[in-house]
Amino acid sequence: MDIRVVKDYEEMSRVAAEIIARQVRHKPESVLGLATGSTPEGVYAILADKFKSGEVDFAKVSTFNLDEYCGLPESDDQSYHTFMENHVFSKLNIAPENTHIPDGNAKSLEKECASYDQKIAESGGVDLQILGIGIDGHIGFNEPSSEFSDGTTIVHLDESTIEANSRFFIDKTLVPTTAITMGVGTIMKARQILLMISGEKKAEIAYKALKGPVTPLVSASKLQEHPNVTVIIDEAAGRLL
Ligand code: F6R
């Protein structure tokens, strides 16, 4: 793992955005795995600026999002479809037909899981996967478990995740309790992984994920076994490393 400790959220975002921009310049038809949440918001804003100034062109890029809530309409303010539209798709020139987010309202969620993994494989696989980490160590929505998940799967969200994500909802009872997520196996197939970690609240889990034993109780710890992971972590989150 290439662990880079940077000063703060802004620097983390700048460094990560430069890695993504370099990837797209190097391979214009790159397949990017994308995350939602507070962690990548800064990166997406910088990429939008880079696109505006003509520094990067996303016309040939394809994207696959990590996850989506189940049972929340795509048009809901808090759906990951809406997040992506607001922060990424409306700002960059990615062709709409090249963007993919799992359908949390599919009639058969089981079929949706299998078809999502198939689409990723048909695209040639993810070149660069962007990740944040949950305070329980999840990547995607792969919550602590007795074994690492393999392909895209349906999960029940942990109480700590529901609590953390309730900051975006009017009421905690409105946070969906299930989600569809790329599995840890799906994530591990990416050729390169970029994990961003920011803030004091993430310090303990960052230590467990990066320096602790590899265990399905901390999904992100599996990344220690990936041959090409860059971790960009700010000083607050990295204080125990
Ligand atoms: C989001 C995702 C999650 C988040 C994690 C951290 O698509 O898959 O694993 O990366 O919950 O969320 P933030 O960045 O809001 O702290």
For residue 36, the model assigns a pLDDT of 98
Report which DSSP code applies to 235.
T
54: left (phi over 0), alpha (psi -120 to 50) or beta: left
Place of tokens 């009421």: 171
For residue 182, the model assigns a pLDDT of 98
pLDDT category, 221, cuts 50, 70, 90? very high
Place of tokens 């320096």: 211
Q: How far apart are CA 97 and CA 108, in angstroms?
A: 22
For atom 8 of ligand 1, which residue has the closest CA? 140
Q: What average pLDDT score do residues 2-26 get?
A: 98
Rounded to the nearest angstrom, the distance between the alpha carbon of 56 and the centre of ligand 1 is: 25
Rounded to the nearest angstrom, the distance between the alpha carbon of 133 and the centre of ligand 1 is: 6
pLDDT category, 99, cuts 50, 70, 90? very high
Return the active site residues: 67, 136, 138, 143
Quickly list DSSP for 18-73.
Answer: HHHHHHHHH-TT-EEEE--SSTTHHHHHHHHHHHHTTS---TT-EEEESEEESSS-
For residue 154, the model assigns a pLDDT of 97
Mutation test residue for ligand 1: of 133, 136, 169, the one with most atoms within 8 Å of CB: 133
pLDDT category, 34, cuts 50, 70, 90? very high
Q: What average pLDDT score do residues 227-240 get?
A: 98
Q: In the β-sheet with 67-69, what is the strand arrangement from edge to edge?
A: 67-69, 178-181, 153-156
Helix, coil or strand: residue 203 = helix
For residue 227, the model assigns a pLDDT of 98
Rounded to the nearest angstrom, the distance between the alpha carbon of 203 and the centre of ligand 1 is: 15
For residue 197, the model assigns a pLDDT of 98
What are the start-end ranges of the H helices in the chain?
A: 9-26, 41-52, 80-84, 109-122, 159-165, 184-188, 203-211
For residue 83, the model assigns a pLDDT of 97
For residue 208, the model assigns a pLDDT of 98
* Residues whose CB is less than 8 angstroms from the CB of residue 227 and which lie 6 or more positions away in sequence, other chains included: none
For residue 238, the model assigns a pLDDT of 98
Q: Which atom of ligand 1 is nearest to the CA of 181?
A: 8
For residue 186, the model assigns a pLDDT of 98
Q: Which residues of 58-93 are buried (b: 16+ CB within 10 A; e: fewer)?
A: beebbbbbbbbbbebeeeeebbbbbbbbebbbebbe
Q: Which atom of ligand 1 is nearest to the CA of 131?
A: 10
For atom 4 of ligand 1, which residue has the closest CA? 132
Q: How far apart are CA 70 and CA 72, in angstroms?
A: 6
More confident residue, 219 or 158: 219
Q: How far apart are CA 178 and CA 201, in angstroms?
A: 24
Q: Which atom of ligand 1 is nearest to the CA of 139?
A: 9
Contact 136, 158 (CB under 8 A): yes
**Residues having CB within 6 Å of any atom of ligand 1:** 35-39, 66-67, 132-134, 138-141
Contact 33, 66 (CB under 8 A): yes
Rounded to the nearest angstrom, the distance between the alpha carbon of 196 and the centre of ligand 1 is: 10
Q: What average pLDDT score do residues 72-95 get?
A: 97
**Average pLDDT, rounded, for the chain:** 97
Q: How far apart are CA 52 and CA 50, in angstroms?
A: 5
Q: What average pLDDT score do residues 126-143 get?
A: 97
For residue 97, the model assigns a pLDDT of 97
For 41-64, how does the pLDDT look when each residue is reduced to its tens digit (9 = 90+)?
999 999 999 999 999 999 999 999
* Residues whose CB is less than 8 angstroms from the CB of residue 121 and which lie 6 or more positions away in sequence, other chains included: none
For 69-79, how does the pLDDT look when each residue is reduced to its tens digit (9 = 90+)?
999 999 999 99
